[in-house]
């Protein structure tokens, strides 16, 4: 496609803006000039018609002209100053004043002579080819027909005409003036449009340079100065917000990689040491005592389990925070909590776990929600002293898990949901510091809230999960 529209789209934006401004101004100027020309023409024609209507020829001149044209009088008639005067009788015979060109007699003129019309106004071309504006009106004059004959009153039509050049010449001059002014206006509008386009697009040029700089150097610290509240300012603010978000995301990604590497190094180092001991035993033929070998194998299994759990947590957190969760379903939170309690009791058989679970249905991803509840209960089991009690209550969408552990200092509470953050007192315990981060993410994706606070009536921590309710699903119809 190589048409004008395609060529227009290939022009730079400032050239297109300047061209559009010039075209818009040209259309506006042309419309104004045309309106001015037509209004002026109508006004000039109106004035010319008014002048013709006011030019009533006196009867003495008409009598002399009639007698001259009919041969009654040999005395020559002088031209009527400024006008062409022509008499029309009932037979349609025209008599024109001396030094004037004859005008054609029309049906409208004859209708005036016959008193069928009071006047006639029209444009005609005379015998010399000059366009004339003609006004015809009726008149009755008394003339002397000859010697010994009484005077007679006859009805005539009088046509008074003036050249249309009196209108056309000023209109032609006006047309040239308007054309010249329009051309100057269009050229000025094009120049002004180009200047406006350059000035208006200067922030866009700065934004383009900033984007190219970021693409070339990956420097996300670039910021564009924002001035005003217009669309360009909004675009600049959006770009600054975008680069800030990208910088934060890159920093978090780098932090995630650094933290993951740090967390993976410990189990891998321990696992490598134990495997090397076992391999050296096989290579040297020096058997490891059975009890020590069993301890080494148990340690290897525990480290592999910890490593697998950490890798699973990293995979979960590798998804973007804004990623869409899996398909949401209406699930029974009380059933999910009951399943998680069974797993928690297996991990802490010496603990007493009480549960009061009222029915509550929510919209969530079942697997993710179960893992979140399991993580909260695992934390309670991990930090609870032996033979202590964990209270689990679900009432009207609020799930609370209260343990009797050492609690969390107030200055550490703001950090408990950060990735890889672990309390100094918990760093010797197994775990990666990702569990509560995953819980918070799952709860937020389900439209809920999570919080931790010290217990009001003694040692321990209370974890609270609030999830909005959903309509209870219809019971399944038993199969026949």
Average pLDDT over residues 218-226: 77
The Cα 416–Cα 313 span in angstroms is 16
**Highest mean pLDDT pick, 175-189, 387-401, 417-431, 463-477:** 387-401
* Domain map (residue ranges) of the chain: 78-165, 231-318, 329-466
Instruction: Give which of 43, 53, 51 is closest to 171, Cα–Cα.
Output: 43
Whether 78-165 shares its CATH topology with 231-318 is answered: no
Report the pLDDT value the prediction gives residue 480, as an integer from 0 to 100.
42
At 323 the pLDDT is 47
pLDDT digits (tens, 9 = 90+) for 242-291: 888 888 877 777 766 766 666 667 667 777 888 888 888 888 878 788 88
Which of 94-108, 173-187, 286-300, 458-472 comes out lowest in average pLDDT?
286-300
pTM attached to this predicted model: 0.43
Position 135 scores a pLDDT of 92
Q: What is the pLDDT of residues 168-216, one digit of tens each?
A: 888 888 889 888 888 888 888 778 777 777 776 777 777 777 778 877 8
User: Between 325 and 83, where is the model more confident?
Assistant: 83
More confident residue, 456 or 134: 134
Residue 254 vs residue 398, higher pLDDT: 398
Q: What is the pLDDT of residues 420-433, one digit of tens each?
A: 555 555 444 444 45
CATH value of 78-165 in 3.50.30, 3.30.450, 3.30.160, 1.20.1070 = 3.30.450
141 DSSP β-pair partners: 154
Which tokens in the block code for residue 240?
A: 């600054």
Assigned fold of 231-318:
Helix Hairpins (1.10.287)
Output the CATH code of domain 329-466: 3.30.565.10
Q: How confident is residue 322, by pLDDT bands cut at 50, 70 and 90?
A: very low
């Amino acid at each position: 496609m190589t048409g004008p529209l395609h060529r227009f789209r290939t022009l730079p934006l400032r050239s297109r803006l300047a061209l559009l401004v010039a075209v818009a101004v040209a259309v506006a100027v042309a419309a104004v000039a045309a309106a001015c020309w037509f209004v002026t023409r109508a006004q000039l024609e109106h004035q010319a018609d008014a002048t013709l209507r006011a030019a009533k020829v006196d009867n003495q001149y008409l009598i002399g002209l009639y007698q001259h044209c009919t041969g009654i009088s040999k005395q020559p008639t002088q031209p009527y100053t400024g006008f062409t005067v022509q008499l029309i009788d009932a037979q349609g015979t025209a008599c024109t004043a001396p030094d004037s060109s004859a005008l054609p007699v029309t049906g409208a003129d004859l209708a005036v002579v016959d008193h069928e019309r009071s006047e006639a106004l029209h444009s005609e071309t005379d015998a010399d080819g000059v366009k004339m504006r003609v006004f015809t009106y009726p008149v009755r004059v008394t003339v002397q027909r000859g010697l010994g004959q009484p005077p007679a009153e006859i009805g005539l039509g009088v046509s008074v005409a003036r050249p249309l050049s009196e209108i056309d010449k000023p209109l032609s001059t006006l047309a040239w003036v308007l054309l010249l002014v329009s051309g100057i206006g269009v050229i000025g509008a094009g120049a002004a449009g180009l200047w406006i386009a350059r000035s208006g697009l200067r922030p866009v040029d700065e934004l383009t340079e900033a984007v190219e700089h970021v693409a070339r150097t990956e420097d996300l610290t670039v910021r564009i100065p924002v001035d005003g509240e217009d669309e360009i300012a909004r675009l600049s603010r959006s770009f600054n917000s975008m680069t800030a978000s990208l910088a934060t995301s890159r920093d978090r990604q780098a932090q995630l990689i650094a933290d993951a590497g740090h967390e993976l190094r410990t189990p891998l180092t321990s696992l490598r040491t134990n495997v090397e001991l076992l391999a050296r035993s096989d290579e040297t033929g020096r058997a490891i005592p059975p009890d020590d070998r069993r301890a080494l194998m148990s340690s290897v299994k525990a480290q592999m389990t910890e490593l697998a759990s950490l890798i699973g947590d990293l995979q979960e957190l590798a998804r973007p925070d804004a990623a869409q969760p899996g398909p949401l379903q209406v699930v029974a939170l009380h059933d999910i909590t009951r399943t998680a309690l069974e797993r928690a009791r297996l991990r802490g058989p010496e603990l007493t776990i009480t549960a009061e679970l009222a029915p509550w249905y929510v919209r969530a991803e079942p697997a993710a929600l179960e893992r979140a509840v399991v993580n909260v209960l695992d934390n309670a089991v991990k930090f609870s002293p032996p033979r202590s009690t964990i209270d689990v209550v679900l009432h009207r969408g609020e799930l609370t898990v209260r343990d009797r552990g050492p609690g969390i200092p107030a200055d550490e509470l703001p950090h408990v949901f950060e990735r890889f953050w672990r309390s100094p007192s918990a760093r010797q315990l197994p775990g990666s510091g990702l569990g509560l981060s995953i819980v918070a993410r799952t709860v937020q994706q389900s439209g809920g809230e999570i919080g931790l606070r010290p217990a009001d009536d003694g040692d321990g921590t209370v974890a609270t999960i609030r999830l909005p309710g959903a309509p209870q699903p219809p019971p399944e119809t038993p199969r026949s």
